[in-house]
Amino acid sequence: MVRLYLDHLSLVDLTASEFVRVAAELGCAGVGLYISPVSMGPALDLTTDHAARRELIDAIQASRLAVGIIEPCLLREDPDWPLLERTVALAAELGGGVNCIGFDPEVSRLHDSIGRLAVMAASANIPVTVESFTLSTLRTPADALTAARAAGGNVRLTFDALHVMRSGCGWADVAALPPEMIAHVQLNDGPIVAPEDRFDEAVHGRLPPGQGEFDLAGLLAVLPPTARIAIEAPFRAPAGLSPLERGRILLESTARLFATELN
C-alpha cells in the first residue's frame, strides 16, 4: 500500500501547523502546505511571520512528516517576486518544492515567469512543478507540459484529478505524459457532469477518492511508480465533524480505492 500525502486544501480551515499535527495523527507520509494567505482559509504568511514559521517547523520535526508541494505560487501578469523568493527560501528550509499555477493570459510571458521561478528554485536546490487548472491559463496537462519544457531545468508536473476531468481530458491524456515528468498527483472524486459553479466545486465541493464517478482505479493504473500521490479533496462533511474525523474519511476512502485497484 502506497503511503499517502495529504494536501492542505483538504482541510483548508486549519493553519499549516494545525494541519501538520492532524496529518501526523492520521498516519500520512507527508503534507503539501499553504504558507501564505489564501482566500478560503486561515493560512498565515509564514514567509514573514517568524513565530508561526517556527511553530510549523517544530510541528514538522515532531511529526517526522515529509513535505511535498508548497503553495501558493501564483504567476499573474506581474508576479510578486519578493514573495516568491521568500516562498522558495521557506520551501527549501522545509525540504519541499514549489508548485505554481499560471494566470498570466500572455502565454510566452507566463513561460518566462515559470523559467525565472525555476532559476530561483534551482539556486535553492529544490524542484518546481507546474499545475494545470481549468480556470487558469494552463488548462490541460498538455498545456502544463509545454510550459514545463519551455522553462527547462528541474520543472515537472503536478496534476489534479478534478482539473483533468473538468478540462475535458481523461486518463489517456495523463498516460500520454512522459512518466518522468509526473511528480505529484492529487486524488479526489466527483460527478462526471460538472456543477455550474466550478470554483466552488474546486475549493469546497469535491468528493473523497472512490466516492464519485471519476474511475480513479483507471487513473492509478497509468501512473508511474515514481509519482508522489496526495489527497486533495475538500468536501462537504456532515456538520460537527472535527478536522481529524474529516481527514480520516479521506484516508479510509482512499485506502479502499487502492485495495480495490490492487485486487
Label each residue of 180-225 as H, E or C.
HHEEEEEECECCCCCCCCHHHHHHCCCECCCCCCCCHHHHHHHCCC
Instruction: Decide if 143 contacts 102 (C-beta within 8 A).
Output: no
Model pTM? Answer: 0.95
Residue 104 grid cell: 498570466
Q: How confident is the model at residue 152 (pLDDT cuts 50, 70, 90)?
A: confident
Amino acid at 124: A
Q: Which helix (H) or strand (E) holds 57?
A: helix 50-63
pLDDT in tens, 198-251: 999 999 999 999 999 999 999 999 999 999 999 999 999 999 999 999 999 999
User: Please, what are the domains in the chain?
Assistant: 5-262 (3.20.20.150)
CB atoms within 10 A of CB 146: 15
- For residue 38, count CB atoms less than 10 angstroms from its CB and return exposed for 0-12, middle for 13-18, buried for 19 or more: middle
Residues 1-25 have pLDDT tens digits of 568 999 999 999 999 999 999 999 9
Q: Counting Cβ atoms within 10 Å, is residue 240 exposed (0-12), middle (13-18) or buried (19+)?
A: exposed
